[in-house]
């Protein structure tokens, strides 16, 4: 006969069993095995996409023209910042050339004479009456309207040209910020220096806008650049800049002559004379030696006879150029005063 179990006895019997079941149920289940399929494939996909982006960049730059928008230009420039660190120097310089042509095509505007006049009047008459300005704006070519409205974006600037006209340019800071950080030291130094020097145009109506002391400092800079980086890809342009600034310092140009006759130190423009005397203290530089020679040579010319003034002036200029071994520069040969590279 089976014993009769009370409720208390049943609890005592089943309580250990329930605890055991509860304990087992509460244990964490075994971690499932996840197949390794996504990480490597995702990385490869990113790498493939990046390669495709950079390989396509050159083609996209060459497709830009005067009908494209600033959004396209800005997108290409953003992609350049991604791709340039991954490229060789040769590839970077090739894209640099493409970028120059890209901006030339982007900023091209074909105007009628009426549109040209309206464009110049609009740009030069910033303080004009708003109604008159609006009339000029409406007469402008549609492309001019777009570019003027968005100037300052995408490194696009409106500037006064050497001949007194107005036009567009790519900001010199474009190459300094987008390309220079990834180039070799010599090329980086050239682009960044020229970008800073050309932030403000040096000529206006063929008149020099830079103080003589700055001319001296820039000539000295390019002399030192050639000493430090004789094998730079931009060595010939640096030499052109050195000769250009030397000529502007000692001779000037047709609109800004250093002297009308070179009859003694008193005939030299005071600001040019002060800059040359300051430069003469740089005795270890070639340019400093030229300054010393210049000051001595001018004093010898104080008693020149008065033949034809123009003939005398030309003769004196040739004499100074020979004595100082100055290279006469034709400023139409290349343009080194608008961008961060010469063209």
Identify which has the larger pLDDT, 45 or 324: 324
Instruction: Output the DSSP codes for 112-128.
Output: -HHHHHHHHHHHH-TTS
Per-residue pLDDT band at 105 (split at 50, 70, 90): very high
The helix (H) or strand (E) run that includes residue 86 is none
Residue 308: its pLDDT value, please?
Answer: 59
Per-residue pLDDT band at 106 (split at 50, 70, 90): very high
Residue 254: its pLDDT value, please?
Answer: 86
Q: The pTM is what?
A: 0.82
Residue 301: its pLDDT value, please?
Answer: 67
Task: Judge whether 225 and 238 are in contact, CB under 8 Å.
Answer: yes
CA distance 280 to 39: 67
- Which tokens hold the place of 170? 């790519």
pLDDT of 245-279, one tens digit each? 999 999 999 889 999 888 889 999 999 999 999 99
Q: Is 49 left (phi over 0), alpha (psi -120 to 50) or beta?
A: alpha
**Residue boundaries of the structural domains of the chain:** 50-106, 184-343
pLDDT of 130-145, one tens digit each? 888 899 999 999 999 9
Residue 332: its pLDDT value, please?
Answer: 86
pLDDT, averaged across the chain: 85
pLDDT of 4-31, one tens digit each? 444 444 444 444 444 443 443 444 443 3
pLDDT of 294-336, one tens digit each? 999 998 866 544 445 777 788 889 999 999 999 999 988 899 9
SS3 label, residue 90: helix
CA distance 226 to 256: 27
- Cβ count near 321 (within 10 Å): 16
**Backbone phi, then psi, for 124, in 5-degree steps?**
-80, -15
Alpha helices by DSSP H, the chain: 7-26, 39-63, 70-83, 89-106, 113-124, 130-139, 142-149, 173-178, 185-197, 212-228, 235-250, 270-279, 286-300, 309-323
Asked whether the predicted pLDDT for residue 51 surpasses 70, the reply is yes
Question: Average of pLDDT values for 88-112?
Answer: 97
């Amino acid at each position: 006969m089976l014993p009769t179990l009370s409720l208390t006895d049943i609890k005592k019997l089943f309580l250990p069993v329930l605890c055991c079941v509860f304990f087992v149920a509460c244990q964490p289940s075994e971690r499932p095995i996840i197949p390794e399929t996504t990480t490597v494939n995702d990385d490869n996909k990113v790498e493939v996409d990046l390669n495709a982006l950079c390989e396509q960049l050159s083609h996209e730059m060459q497709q830009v023209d005067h009908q494209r928008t600033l959004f396209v230009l800005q997108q290409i420039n953003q992609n350049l910042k991604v791709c340039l660190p991954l490229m060789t120097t040769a590839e970077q310089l090739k894209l640099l050339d493409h970028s120059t042509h890209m901006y030339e095509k982007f900023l091209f505007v074909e105007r009628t004479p009426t549109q040209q006049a309206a464009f110049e009047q609009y740009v030069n008459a910033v303080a004009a009456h708003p109604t008159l300005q609006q009339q000029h704006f409406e007469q402008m070519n549609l492309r001019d309207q777009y570019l003027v409205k968005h100037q300052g974006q995408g490194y696009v600037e409106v500037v006064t040209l050497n001949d007194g006209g107005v036009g567009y340019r790519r900001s010199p800071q474009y190459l300094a910020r987008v390309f220079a950080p990834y180039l070799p030291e010599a090329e980086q130094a050239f682009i960044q220096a020229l970008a800073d020097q050309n932030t403000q145009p040096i000529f206006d109506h063929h008149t020099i806008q830079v103080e003589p002391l700055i001319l001296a400092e820039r000539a000295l800079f390019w002399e030192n650049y050639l000493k430090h980086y004789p094998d730079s890809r931009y060595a010939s342009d640096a030499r052109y800049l050195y000769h250009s600034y030397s000529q502007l310092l000692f001779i000037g140009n047709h609109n800004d002559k250093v002297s009308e006759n070179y009859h003694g130190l008193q005939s030299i423009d005071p600001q040019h004379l002060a800059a040359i005397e300051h430069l003469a203290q740089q005795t270890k530089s070639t340019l400093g030696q030229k300054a010393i020679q210049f000051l001595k040579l001018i004093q010898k010319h104080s008693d020149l006879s008065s033949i034809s003034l123009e003939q005398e002036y030309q003769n004196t200029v040739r004499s100074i150029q020979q004595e100082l071994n100055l290279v006469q520069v034709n400023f139409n040969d290349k343009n080194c005063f608008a961008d961060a590279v010469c063209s």
